[in-house]
Amino acid sequence: DTGVSQNPRHKITKRGQNVTFRCDPISEHNRLYWYRQTLGQGPEFLTYFQNEAQLEKSRLLSDRFSAERPKGSFSTLEIQRTEQGDSAMYLCASSSLTGMNTEAFFGQGTRLTVV
């Protein structure tokens, strides 16, 4: 297992376009999280899943954002009608509810630039 994988690594899009990011968590990790990080800030929580159920969404997650985790494996984060303020690094993390190690492991992120 190579850890949490995110694709694409970079995305440049025009304002108003839709974008979709994918996250493949560490296999058998029940929980999957999405965070967003802007310059000079720490990662900010967006949403998380336990298996296929979306358990919590942040107020940061406007109606233009939607996340899914079909079958409790990989997850997608879609942003519709992108705005320049959506430019950020989007980070995915996964963790296990069982076993000794419960810390979240992060992927390398998808850097979104909206022009």
Contacting range for other proteins; rule: CB under 8 A; set: 12-20, 62-70, 75-83, 93-101: 93-101
Q: Which of 7, 74, 76, 104 binds other proteins (CB under 8 A)?
A: 104
Q: Which of 41, 62, 73, 113 binds other proteins (CB under 8 A)?
A: 41
Distance between CA atoms of residues 19 and 112, nearest Å: 9
Q: Which residues pair with 32 in a beta bridge?
A: 49, 94
Q: Which two tokens stand for residue 72?
A: 């409790």
**Beta 5-7 vs 53-57: how paired, if at all?**
unpaired
Q: Which residues bind other proteins (CB under 8 A)?
A: 4, 6, 31, 33, 35, 40-45, 48, 56, 91, 93, 95, 97, 102-109, 111
